[in-house]
Amino acid sequence: MSDKMLNDGVILIDKNEGESSFDVVRKVKRLLKEKKVGHAGTLDPFATGLLIILLGQGSKLSQYLMSGKKRYLATMTLGIETDTLDKTGKVVKTAPVPELDKDGVKDLVKDFTGDIEQTPPAYSAVNLNGQRAYKLARQGIAVDLKKRVVTIDSIDIVSVDLPHVVFEVVCSGGTYVRSLAADMGGRLGTAAHLSSLRRLASGRFEVRDALDSRKLTAGEDADAVRSRMISLSDALPDMREVKADLETVKRICNGIRPSWSEIAGPDQSLDGYKGHIKVTHGSSLKAVIEVDRTFSDNEWLRNIRVFI
Nearest Cα neighbor of 242 from 276, 274, 280 is: 280
Nearest Cα neighbor of 18 from 158, 213, 270, 160 is: 213
Return d(Cα 191, Cα 18) in angstroms, integer: 25
Distances (CA, A) of 284 to 169, 191, 291: 34, 51, 20
Catalytically annotated residues = 44
Return d(Cα 43, Cα 15) in angstroms, integer: 8
In a 13 Å sphere around the CA of 155, the CA atoms on its Cβ side amount to: 26
Return d(Cα 37, Cα 53) in angstroms, integer: 7
The helix (run of H) or strand (run of E) holding residue 184 is helix 177-187
Return d(Cα 86, Cα 181) in angstroms, integer: 9
Kindly give the interhelix angle for 177-187 and 102-109, rounded to the nearest 10 degrees.
110
